[in-house]
Amino acid sequence: MRIALIAMSGIRVVDTELLEMGLTLPGFVERSKTIASLPSLGLLTLAALTPEEHEVDYIEVEDIRHLDHLPSDFDLVGISSFSAQIGEAYALADGFRAMGTPVVLGGLHVTSLPAEAMLHSDAIVIGEGEPVWAELVRDAANGTLKPVYDGRTCAYDLEDAPLPAYDLLDIERYNRLTVQTSRGCPHRCEFCASSILLTEGYKQKPIDLVLREIDAIKALWKHPFIEFADDNAFVNHRYWKTLLPQLAERHVRWFAETDLSVAKDPELLDMMRESGCAQVLIGLESPVPTGLDGLELHNNWKRKRYDEYRSAIDAIQSRGISVNGCFVLGLDGHTADVFDEVIDFVQESGLLEVQVTILTPFPGTPLYDRLSREGRLLYPGEWNRCTLFDLNFQPSDMSVEELQHGFRRMASVLYGDEMTAERRARFKSILRSIQTERAAPALGGVA
Ligand code: B12
Ligand code: SF4
């Protein structure tokens, strides 16, 4: 068979005012450019699991309006999309099916809303794709595709993870590539729409397999930038203390998403810096304790650590690792003051990067169910608004307009020339003082 694996790709915002504003803000533009080009790790992984007798094409579609025709020479089409582009994914699927090409859909959105996805496909995959892909391909080759393949009914261990087919990529097009070391996260935030929707529990990939992936990337790209696509990378410090020295030998630069716990482990922080960590992204979520209470379903982990936010940022950044602090606006209890509170927090804490998003009820999350029960969803079913930048619900302590206007104003300050330049200057000065510190003992020796 000839199989097309199609990733819906790119960045989406519906709010036209925010979009136009975003296009001109230096801090925002830079971040968007950096992340917008990431490939689909899920599809590269499934490509690697496809038996050799089949031919696989990996295709990224940024906007279906730019497609002038659909190729008719595929025997099977697999499409991956998150919620924001699922409408486009469905339209693409409908187009292929109208030509008689069988289509399989998978990913976070499909896992959350299987019945909806089944209307646009010959087969869907719920949960992780790895445990069911070989069977699905075999069935497709025999013309016996089943409507549903449920990865959650099979135990899947990351010990069995294949080497993602990075070699399918036109490597020149990417400014970073993703590697996963783990899936899941112990915190279980109410709004979390990441891989905790795919798989129960937290699991890690054996270190030798992670290193095999880094080596494969290095064979294609000499000095790569790696984004660890984990939901929460540093849950297990011991694991990373074994991995990092071996990563250091490979001379790559890297980025990861983590919770605050790294800041309490100076040995880990030093190892991160030595192994090429450029930035960690941390979900601080709220610049004030309001909003943090009850955010996680299991315990109040983030609320309990609120008082450590500033010292943790200092501990990490003093190593020359920038912290990208993420704030979610519109949490229950946030008032219209929260926008200035974010700006003040960023300035006072010395955060070197900042990411602001609007609380988003993604389908399948406990947040979605609660807001739905409370009658607070404004556009149920309009998944194209699930962008993290478009408001979809009635906030608890401000009006819709207050949140939208406040968010735009805050973004224009945070990503405007002045604060962006301030953050860059601050980072340069941290790097200079680290260099001076490192040079000092050597000079002392000469003297
Ligand atoms: C890398 C990444 C991107 C890349 C995506 C590249 C791509 N096409 O995959 C880029 C930068 C383009 C991107 C864009 C966006 N992203 Co993004 N992104 C991520 C990130 C950091 C990692 C995702 C990842 O690689 N996971 C690992 C792979 C292995 O998992 P997977 O893709 O789910 O695939 C597995 C299964 O789902 C399944 N599967 C998936 N697809 C298919 C298809 C078939 C046919 C089959 C059989 C199986 C299958 O099998 C795979 C293996 O088990 C996550 C955050 C995180 N830490 O997870 C956010 C995340 C996925 N993004 C998110 C969002 C909101 C967006 C944007 C809307 C942002 C925006 N405003 O534009 C856009 C959406 C674009 C779209 N297509 O809809 C949300 C999605 C929530 C949701 N449920 O929709 C996440 C979870 C972050 C968050 N804060 O909540 N993103
Ligand atoms: S800490 Fe992040 S990854 Fe973990 S549950 Fe919360 S939002 Fe999801």
pLDDT in tens, 22-71: 766 666 666 666 666 799 999 999 999 999 999 999 999 988 888 878 88
Amino acid in the structure at residue 186: P
pLDDT for res 370: 96
Question: Is 350 exposed, middle or buried (CB count within 10 Å of its CB: 0-12, 13-18, 19+)?
Answer: middle
- The Cα–Cα gap between 277 and 400 comes to 39
Residue of 57, 80, 82, 132 best suited for mutating to test ligand 1, as the one with most atoms within 8 Å of CB: 82
Q: 155 falls in which pLDDT band (50, 70, 90)?
A: confident
Task: Determine, yes or no, domain membership for 442.
Answer: no
Question: How many whole angstroms from 185 Cα to the centroid of ligand 2?
Answer: 6
Task: Give Cβ neighbours of residue 152 (< 8 Å, ≥ 6 apart).
Answer: 126, 127, 128, 198, 199, 200
Question: How many whole angstroms from 335 Cα to the centroid of ligand 1?
Answer: 30
Q: 445 falls in which pLDDT band (50, 70, 90)?
A: very low
* Ligand 1 closest atom vs CA 109: 83
Same domain (yes/no): 323, 372:
yes
Per-residue pLDDT for 447 more than 60? no
Same domain (yes/no): 217, 346:
yes
Same domain (yes/no): 54, 88:
yes
183 SS3 class: strand
Tens digit of each residue's pLDDT (9 = 90 or more) over 242-301 = 999 999 999 999 999 999 999 999 999 999 999 999 999 999 999 999 888 888 777 788
Task: Determine, yes or no, domain membership for 69.
Answer: yes
- The last residue of one of the domains, among 153, 187, 218, is 153
Residue of 13, 122, 152, 194 best suited for mutating to test ligand 1, as the one with most atoms within 8 Å of CB: 194
What are the backbone angles phi and psi of residue 58, rounded to the nearest 5°? -100, 125
- The Cα–Cα gap between 137 and 143 comes to 10
* Ligand 2 closest atom vs CA 296: 6
Q: Is 305 in the pocket of ligand 2 (CB under 6 A)?
A: no
Same domain (yes/no): 85, 220:
no
Q: Is 193 in the pocket of ligand 1 (CB under 6 A)?
A: yes
More confident residue, 351 or 441: 351
Which of 209, 306, 318, 206 minimizes the C-alpha distance to 259? Answer: 306
Which of 148, 198, 168 minimizes the C-alpha distance to 50? Answer: 168
Q: Is 107 in the pocket of ligand 1 (CB under 6 A)?
A: yes
Task: Determine, yes or no, domain membership for 99.
Answer: yes
Which of 166, 144, 193 minimizes the C-alpha distance to 41? Answer: 166
Task: Give Cβ neighbours of residue 43 (< 8 Å, ≥ 6 apart).
Answer: 5, 6, 7, 58, 78, 80
Mean pLDDT computed over every residue of the chain? 92
Task: Determine, yes or no, domain membership for 160.
Answer: no
Q: What is the DSSP letter of 196?
A: G
Per-residue pLDDT for 443 more than 60? no
Same domain (yes/no): 81, 209:
no
Q: Is 312 in the pocket of ligand 2 (CB under 6 A)?
A: no
Tens digit of each residue's pLDDT (9 = 90 or more) over 102-148 = 999 999 999 999 999 999 999 999 999 999 999 999 999 999 999 99
The shares of helix, strand and coil residues in the chain, as percent rounded to the nearest 5, are: 45, 15, 35
- The Cα–Cα gap between 45 and 197 comes to 18
Average pLDDT estimate for 415-436: 88
pLDDT for res 30: 67
Question: How many whole angstroms from 261 Cα to the centroid of ligand 1?
Answer: 25
Q: Is 188 in the pocket of ligand 2 (CB under 6 A)?
A: yes
Residue 126: domain span: 2-11+37-153
Q: Is 36 in the pocket of ligand 1 (CB under 6 A)?
A: yes
Average pLDDT estimate for 352-364: 95
Same domain (yes/no): 106, 219:
no
Same domain (yes/no): 181, 106:
no
Q: How many CB atoms lie within 10 A of CB 418?
A: 9
Residue of minimum CA distance from atom 34 in ligand 1:
42
Structurally, how many domains does the chain consist of? Answer: 2
pLDDT for res 441: 61
Same domain (yes/no): 227, 96:
no
Same domain (yes/no): 138, 236:
no
Task: Determine, yes or no, domain membership for 170.
Answer: no
Same domain (yes/no): 204, 133:
no
Residue of minimum CA distance from atom 48 in ligand 1:
106
Residue of minimum CA distance from atom 7 in ligand 2:
192
Same domain (yes/no): 414, 356:
yes
Question: Is 193 exposed, middle or buried (CB count within 10 Å of its CB: 0-12, 13-18, 19+)?
Answer: buried
Residue of minimum CA distance from atom 44 in ligand 1:
106
Task: Determine, yes or no, domain membership for 188.
Answer: yes
Lowest mean pLDDT across 175-179, 231-235, 291-295, 326-330: 291-295
Distance of alpha carbon 317 from its chain centroid, rounded? 22
pLDDT for res 143: 97
Task: Determine, yes or no, domain membership for 236.
Answer: yes
- The Cα–Cα gap between 280 and 359 comes to 21
- The last residue of one of the domains, among 102, 118, 153, is 153
Q: How many CB atoms lie within 10 A of CB 179?
A: 25
Which of 56, 59, 52, 285 minimizes the C-alpha distance to 187? Answer: 285
Report how many helices (DSSP H) and strands (DSSP E) the chain contains, helices first. Answer: 16, 14
CB 232 within 8 A of CB 179: no
Same domain (yes/no): 352, 394:
yes
pLDDT for res 393: 98
- The Cα–Cα gap between 74 and 167 comes to 20
Residue of minimum CA distance from atom 60 in ligand 1:
194
pLDDT for res 34: 66
Task: Determine, yes or no, domain membership for 268.
Answer: yes
The domain that holds 101 is classified in CATH as 3.40.50.280
Closest ligand to the CA of 196? 2
- The last residue of one of the domains, among 107, 122, 153, is 153
